[in-house]
Amino acid sequence: MSFPVNSVLDNFNRTGEGPPPTGWSAVNATWKQLVIPDTPDNTYSTPQSGSDNLEFANFWSASTFGPDTEAFVTLINLGTDDWDRNGVILRGSTGGSGVSGYNIIWSKNGTSNGSGAALTLQRVVNDAATEVGTEKARAFSSGYKIGATVTGTGADVTIEVFTDEGSGWVSRGTWTDSDASRITSSGYIGIQGWEHGGVTCRADDFGGGDLSSGSPQTVTLNAANLSASVANVQSYNYQIVRPTTDTSLGGWTDQADGTSSIYTAIDETTASDSDFVQSPNNPSTSIYKFKIGTISDPGIHANNIVAYRYRKPEAVGTVNLKVRLIEGTTTRKEWTHSNIGTSWTTQEQTLTEGEAATITDYSNLYLELEAG
């Protein structure tokens, strides 16, 4: 899945608006709102510098989206207090009982003071927020971007968080919300956070929208020197997973012959052939195994897709490629590509319902690339 699939909605390249700025609406009468400063700096900020315990939020008011949506924003700072945080809202709504929605936020010091910055999911229901699952430790620097998708309207709602820390968007993990209070309706996207201690939170370039409005989703996983592939798994409710961990290299490297976390060469959200993994020269049963992210059990067995791209870099010799979908140590499906060519070839393999039904633990899936 590419992230994001929508464009920037507000670049804040204007001065002296708000609260709220044009195009934004308040979420309730209590929470503070954004302003665009009088001094041109092309960012939004929270309005009351110096205030403590300041919760701020606004919805992008032009439209509701979804239910499957995304949002993203560039963060200039997170504030100064341990509890300060800043991020995006998905499936936001207001009603007689208060604000609801998902906040996906980058907090200055996680939920434990002194523990370092972290990505956190909060489910807001009736103005009350509950942190869902575990925070994801992630250091922050000015200019980093945070974004998220929310998918699913059934028993499980999946929220995937992304960051762009200067090298493109990378998934930092998912949360699955199965609680009875999970939010399944379409809603607003927006910006939310806290600030404290006198430093105004600032951010830039907010965007998002419907996931379905974007282009088709693929992730490239290249394997030059003989093969290249793309790996992602799409389930019926459009959960997407990418490589998350090297399990065993089998002589494979990244495009720079590196051997450390080579999965990061193939986990981009936007397909790119500029980085890839590659087998050894003249491979013989060289197997690279890597883990892919966790998706919640879709509950049905249709439209489980494994997609990948491959090639060999030169028209020399014969190279065969096998791609296996593995649960734990059990092969659930294997695809063989004999005597692969030098042009990029994309494969989208759809599991039969019978094959998909053999998967019992969607948190324990791996892909193997065997060159020989």
Partner 1 sequence: MAIAWFVVQYVPYNDRPNTRRLAIDAFTRQIEADGGSWAEAEVLGNYALVKVSASTATINAIKAYGIFPATSYTGLDTLMSDLSNPEYKAIQDQLLLMGYTQAEINASLGSSLTLWRQKTFRQLLEFAATRKFNIRWNGTAIVFDGEQQVCINPDVIDKRVK
Task: State the minimum distance, in angstroms, from the CB of residue 161 to partner 1.
Answer: 15
Rounded (5°) CA angle 271-276-279: 145
Which residue type is seen at 117?
A
Return all residues near 312 (Cβ < 8 A) that are at least 6 apart: 224, 225, 226, 227, 319, 340, 341, 342
Task: State the minimum distance, in angstroms, from the CB of residue 129 to partner 1.
Answer: 4
Q: Between residue 3 and residue 62, which ones bind partner 1 under the rule CB under 8 A?
A: 52-53, 55
Return all residues near 185 (Cβ < 8 A) that are at least 6 apart: 66, 67, 91, 93, 153
Q: Mind giving me the DSSP string for 5-68? A: -S-EEE---S-SB-SSPTTEEESSSSSB--BB-SS--S-EE-S-TT-SSEEEEEEETT--B-SS
Strand partners, 73: 146
Q: Is 182 helix (H, G, I), strand (E, B) or coil?
A: coil
| Interaction between residue 98 and partner 1 (CB under 8 A) | yes
Among residues 17, 41, 131, 355, which is the contact residue for partner 1, using CB under 8 A?
131
| Interaction between residue 80 and partner 1 (CB under 8 A) | no
Among residues 180, 284, 329, 354, which is the contact residue for partner 1, using CB under 8 A?
180
| Interaction between residue 133 and partner 1 (CB under 8 A) | yes
H-helix segments, the chain: 353-357
Q: CB nearer to partner 1: give 135 or 267.
A: 135
Of 158, 128, 164, 172, the residue nearest 143 (C-alpha) = 164
Distance CA 331, CA 322 (A): 12
Distance CA 178, CA 166 (A): 33
Q: Between residue 348 and residue 367, which ones bind partner 1 under the rule CB under 8 A?
A: 361, 363-364
| Interaction between residue 126 and partner 1 (CB under 8 A) | yes
Q: CB nearer to partner 1: give 121 or 223.
A: 121
Q: CB nearer to partner 1: give 115 or 281.
A: 115
Q: CB nearer to partner 1: give 57 or 323.
A: 57
Q: CB nearer to partner 1: give 44 or 194.
A: 194
| Interaction between residue 139 and partner 1 (CB under 8 A) | no
Rounded (5°) CA angle 333-161-232: 20
| Interaction between residue 111 and partner 1 (CB under 8 A) | yes
Judged by CB under 8 A, the stretch of 12-20, 58-66, 112-120, 207-215 that binds partner 1 is 112-120
Distance CA 295, CA 363 (A): 6
Among residues 8, 23, 61, 82, which is the contact residue for partner 1, using CB under 8 A?
82
357: phi then psi, degrees, rounded to nearest 5: -70, -15
Structural contact between residues 347 and 267, judged by C-beta atoms closer than 8 angstroms: no
Task: State the minimum distance, in angstroms, from the CB of residue 360 to partner 1.
Answer: 9
| Interaction between residue 185 and partner 1 (CB under 8 A) | no
Q: CB nearer to partner 1: give 76 or 118.
A: 118
Of 56, 45, 51, 32, the residue nearest 196 (C-alpha) = 51
Task: State the minimum distance, in angstroms, from the CB of residue 99 to partner 1.
Answer: 9
Total of chain residues touching partner 1, rule CB under 8 A: 34
Q: CB nearer to partner 1: give 53 or 318.
A: 53
Structural contact between residues 53 and 196, judged by C-beta atoms closer than 8 angstroms: yes
Strand partners, 149: 70, 160
Q: Build a one-symbol-per-residue string for 243-282: x at contacts with partner 1 by CB under 8 A, - elsewhere.
A: ----------------------------------------
Q: Is 211 helix (H, G, I), strand (E, B) or coil?
A: helix
Task: State the minimum distance, in angstroms, from the CB of residue 352 to partner 1.
Answer: 24
Judged by CB under 8 A, the stretch of 18-26, 67-75, 132-140, 220-228 that binds partner 1 is 132-140
**Which residues of the shown chain bind partner 1 in the complex (CB under 8 A)?**
52-53, 55, 82-83, 97-98, 110-113, 115-116, 122, 125-131, 133-135, 137, 176, 178-181, 194, 361, 363-364
